Amino acid sequence: MLDDLLPITIPGFAPDAPALTPPQARALGATGWRFGTLSLSPALSATGGYDSAPNGAAGSMLVQLSPSLAVSDPVAGFGAYALVSPSLYPQDQPQSSTMAALAVGQGFTMARQTITLAGGFVRGAETGFAIGAGNLARPLPFNLSQVRLSDRITQAALTITPDLSASLLRVPASPAQDRGDLRPALRLSYDDGAPLSYVLALRGDLSDGRIVAQDATNIALLGGVRDQASGLWSVSVLAGGAGRLPRQGPALLTPALEIRLDWAPDRLDELRLNLVRELDDPDRVSALPYTLSAAKFTLLRAGLQQLSFRAQGELSQADYLHGDLRETLVNLGATVTWHVSPFIALELRYGFNDRQSPQLGAANEHVMTMGVSWTP
């Protein structure tokens, strides 16, 4: 969850950042203030539009204001980020919510290893158009705190990356969903300079909540390869298995899969494709266990005069382990940005969300907004 909110300049977060050099979309705008190696990047955006069915309710106007500040020093290995983003629905006040995020990360680089310590906090609200959210009639506020510790050790062609994260979730309106998660992980990669490299990943998730029947230990082991043509494309395929060992009930073993493609034919375009099958999604608020199958794409296009374009789509299906419950979500979006000046940009955005479930019912929404953003 935090990884989706934060820029890639925060050490310890955004581990799924683009495998290739990011396109030059930000080159059309400003880059913040620099003081030696320290960079300050404040931003402010204001957005207004219409949501046809927030959480499946009646349509309403939508107003958002999002100030943020990113601080980074790549030489010192430091990064921090803060964001506040209220979403107001004047015609349906119960749908209004405020999202806030704060994160800081520090990397310590030595001869053959890099140790990273990071922490973050997010206050948000789950909506009815998210896996595991059920048929929420209004946003469900939550608080998530997380700390991370990782080490990247390089020995010749072998890279060893142990990782440990701990998170605490609090849902004030539904204390039964409160839980803590401890996630150890180990990743081994072998890259001798050839186009093909080899990867082995071991991940664990120890969940402890207020509902004993939902507490479990998840373990996943995946292995595979990564093929990359420098600066052009990158493909990685990891396959294996995932197991769930609950405190109550039978154990579960299921196939696990991760496929990723990054293609950047030039420095202005990029296409990302992801296919995933896994047990649960630890970033979701819901504590209900499920197997998740998801496909996601992102298309980035910059350099059209002062215009940039972004499109994304995701198809997710969750099969819950308790009861005969299945839900399918479709999320689509497109954004056109016009960089009026190095400091000002106008943005036109469209989003479509759809939920289908025989047990939870069906709902969908269209969200159309226009906004302006400022970056010095």
Pairing between β-strand 38-51 and β-strand 179-190 as defined by DSSP bridges: unpaired
- Model confidence over 56-65: pLDDT tens digits? 788 999 999 9
Q: pLDDT grade, residue 321 (50/70/90)?
A: confident
- Contact in structure between 328 and 317 (CB atoms under 8 Å): yes
Predicted local distance difference test score (pLDDT) of residue 22: 43
Range among 202-216, 239-253, 338-352, 360-374 with highest mean pLDDT value: 338-352
Name the residue among 126, 194, 141 with its Cα closest to residue 172. Answer: 141
Rounded distance between C-alpha atoms, residue 6 and residue 103, angstroms: 8
Rounded distance between C-alpha atoms, residue 23 and residue 87, angstroms: 30
Q: Which domain holds residue 304?
A: 2-374
Which tops the pLDDT comparison, 250 or 159?
159
Rounded distance between C-alpha atoms, residue 3 and residue 333, angstroms: 19
Residue 192: give its domain's CATH number: 2.40.160
Other C-beta atoms lying within 10 Å of the C-beta of residue 128: 23
- Contact in structure between 129 and 138 (CB atoms under 8 Å): no
Answer whether residue 112 shows pLDDT above 70: yes
Q: At 321, is the secondary structure helix, strand, or coil?
A: coil
- Residue 204 carries which side chain, given as an amino acid letter? G
Predicted local distance difference test score (pLDDT) of residue 26: 37
Hey, what are 197's tokens?
């490299």
Residue bearing tokens 């150890």: 184
- Contact in structure between 62 and 86 (CB atoms under 8 Å): no
Rounded distance between C-alpha atoms, residue 93 and residue 354, angstroms: 22
Pairing between β-strand 113-126 and β-strand 97-109 as defined by DSSP bridges: antiparallel
Predicted local distance difference test score (pLDDT) of residue 18: 47
Rg (CA), the chain: 21
Hey, what are 124's tokens?
């948000």
- Model confidence over 235-266: pLDDT tens digits? 999 999 999 888 887 888 999 999 999 998 87
- Model confidence over 28-48: pLDDT tens digits? 334 689 999 999 999 999 999
Name the residue among 237, 2, 207 with its Cα closest to residue 105. Answer: 2
In whole numbers, what is the pLDDT of the chain averaged over residues?
87
- Contact in structure between 199 and 164 (CB atoms under 8 Å): no
Q: pLDDT grade, residue 360 (50/70/90)?
A: low
- Contact in structure between 214 and 289 (CB atoms under 8 Å): yes
Rounded distance between C-alpha atoms, residue 274 and residue 18, angstroms: 12
Q: What is the pTM of this model?
A: 0.85
Answer whether residue 23 shows pLDDT above 60: no
> Mean pLDDT throughout 2-26?
60
- Quote the number of domains for the chain: 1
- Contact in structure between 342 and 30 (CB atoms under 8 Å): yes
Rounded distance between C-alpha atoms, residue 222 and residue 360, angstroms: 33
Length of the chain counted residue by residue: 376
- DSSP alpha helix (H) spans, the chain: 2-5
Hey, what are 138's tokens?
């209004």
Answer whether residue 17 shows pLDDT above 60: no
Hey, what are 304's tokens?
């059209």
Strands (E), 89-139: 97-109, 113-126
Predicted local distance difference test score (pLDDT) of residue 21: 46
Where is average pLDDT lowest: 143-152, 183-192, 216-225, 262-271? 262-271
- Model confidence over 182-210: pLDDT tens digits? 999 999 999 988 889 999 999 999 988 88
- Contact in structure between 334 and 307 (CB atoms under 8 Å): no
